[in-house]
Chain A
């Protein structure tokens, strides 16, 4: 493995750890709002680091851009969903 692949591998593992942290938070945190906090780490950092790692070692600009697009769209969708659920939950006893 060359240096670039090492960096990519480290990014991928770091991303996976954020997925793990998010899942642990989802299971351990006490209420919906703090669980939401855990979920957003997965969408932003978890998927973000994963995309970065995969883009680095893909060696193709087209693939890297597509991965970036997937991440941006996932963030827009996830942020909207998180906001809607939080807003709805805060308006209900």
Chain B
């Protein structure tokens, strides 16, 4: 009896490597980007096989959805959409040999390394208190390694500030053409997407899900609205957006500091209201992540690009 799981894994891994290779070698960049979207779908399946449904959810929202939209959006502004290897033959040969050798060495190390390792699994699956949080990934993110998650939010915020320093939001003044089905479809899909985001946030305590997945879905909802031309001019909600952007970091910081007055360590949780506090922090994080992703998508110099302008007025 053949092990069908092994067949599935090998087939998936080979397809994944092939798609990765073609993504990076296709002369036509549009083809490369579409292949990269397919790569995201395959990565989602790989996470599933690695028993990481939490990661698979984030990959489905980000790898297969948001990143593709971001790349296609950026590609529209580029006139040069072909890319060739731009290097002398002798150096190309040297680079090929060195990278192949390094890949071989790393694979050999992976194959021969003894399969013993210290795992967080034991401490995480036995929560120290009756916090009500049973999803181990959420426990790691918000209890055991809360400091990392807090700083990660700061990194996200920095990326947004960086992107916004380059451009302000582009106006959404383009009228939707009559044939456009995207706006009504977005109106139908929006409640479903928001519901899924709320469900994932809530589910994160006990099942795969949580702030990162919910935030990614929330950001995707915003991007969909923007693409459908349903978002009003950014000037009208700039303040709200800024508050949303910092909410995750601020709520997290506030909770982390306030517990000190209760005699707890920095970023510790009291024994009584752990679940409610974690849900509060997670709600803030979800808003922040969603707003950050939308904001990163919106900080594009749309009006400055002549090619986009021509296409916008043609459609």
Contact = CB atoms under 8 A, between A and B. Distances in A.
B196 to A, nearest CB: 9
Nearest to A72: B192
A3 interface: no
Contacts of B192: 73
Interface of B: 179, 181-182, 185, 188-189, 192
A84 B181 contact: yes
A48 B107 CA distance: 41
A35 to B, nearest CB: 14
B182 A84 contact: yes
A87 B181 CA distance: 10
A9 to B, nearest CB: 16
A80 B185 contact: yes
A28 to B, nearest CB: 20
A76 B185 contact: yes
B38 to A, nearest CB: 13
Q: Sorted from nearest, which 6 A-B pairs have the closest CB atoms?
A: A80-B185, A83-B181, A87-B179, A73-B192, A80-B181, A76-B188
Interface of A: 73, 76-77, 79-80, 83-84, 87
B189 A76 contact: yes
Contacts of A83: 181
Contacts of A79: 185
Contacts of A80: 181-182, 185, 189
B60 to A, nearest CB: 12
Given A73-B192, A80-B181, A83-B181, 8 more contacts: A73-B189, A76-B189, A77-B185, A77-B189, A79-B185, A84-B181, A84-B182, A87-B179
17 contacts: A73-B189, A73-B192, A76-B185, A76-B188, A76-B189, A77-B185, A77-B189, A79-B185, A80-B181, A80-B182, A80-B185, A80-B189, A83-B181, A84-B181, A84-B182, A87-B179, A87-B181
A77 B179 CA distance: 17
A87 B179 CA distance: 8
A77 B220 CA distance: 14
A22 to B, nearest CB: 16
Contacts of B188: 76
Nearest to B188: A76
Nearest to A87: B179
A10 to B, nearest CB: 20
B198 to A, nearest CB: 15
Contacts of A77: 185, 189
A67 to B, nearest CB: 15
A76 B179 CA distance: 17
A73 B224 CA distance: 15
A60 to B, nearest CB: 16
A37 B189 CA distance: 23
